[in-house]
Amino acid sequence: MGLMNLRLGLCALCVVALAPFIACGGGQPEAAAPSNPPAASSEAAAASTAPSASASAPAPSGAPAASASAAPSAPPGPPGPGDWDAWTHEQKLAYMKSTVMPQMGQLFHEYDAKKYAEPQCVLCHGAGVKDGSFKMPNPGLPKLDATPEGFKKLHTKFPGMVEFMGKKVVPKTAQLLGEAPFDPKTGKGLGCFECHTKKK
């Protein structure tokens, strides 16, 4: 009698486990995205399969190849203060592809549609896209002189870009990552040196 109950229990478990496949006509389970994608696929236009924040936004690309259905799901965002550092690499990658890249890509495209016709992950992450680390700050970006004189020179030479970075890019990035924008009075918050390295 005990053996019969065990068999009935196992049958019931199989029916419950297989119900979604039977109801949908079968199929294969979704493949999981690799935690460290191979370098060869890192320049593929996978991010273009991510949902866009705006229908008019350009399709961003340059992230490791993985279909939207196979990518790990991003936590509901944006992250709260300090949450970003606690997220896994896979969570960050999914959130970047689904939310950050479409919105930041659109921001750069609106600033200069010709220069940033199709913004890609390499725009900020550079070589970190190829090796899958996405390490920041990115030494491939222009190095900035951190002194007041250095910023003054930069503002004189590139006033439009400095204003765009200070008034659009930094606040939007901070918002998307759940951080406060840099405050010169306190010296805290997300600022230029999250992405750029300092000129020595």
Name the more confident of 12 and 139: 139
- Is pLDDT at 144 greater than 60 in this prediction? yes
- Is pLDDT at 111 greater than 70 in this prediction? yes
b/e code 91-130 from CB counts within 10 Å (16+ = b): bbbbbbbbbbbbbbbbbbbebeeeebeebbbbbbbbebbe
Return the pLDDT at 42: 33
Overall pTM > 0.75: no
What is the per-residue pLDDT across 178-192, written as a single tens digit (0 to 9) for each?
999 999 899 999 999
Return the pLDDT at 73: 66
**Which residues contact residue 151 at a Cβ distance below 8 angstroms, ignoring those fewer than 6 apart?**
144, 145, 162
Return the pLDDT at 99: 93
Q: Are 56 and 18 in contact (CB under 8 A)?
A: no
What is the per-residue pLDDT across 42-69, written as a single tens digit (0 to 9) for each?
333 333 333 333 333 444 444 444 444 4
Return the pLDDT at 72: 57
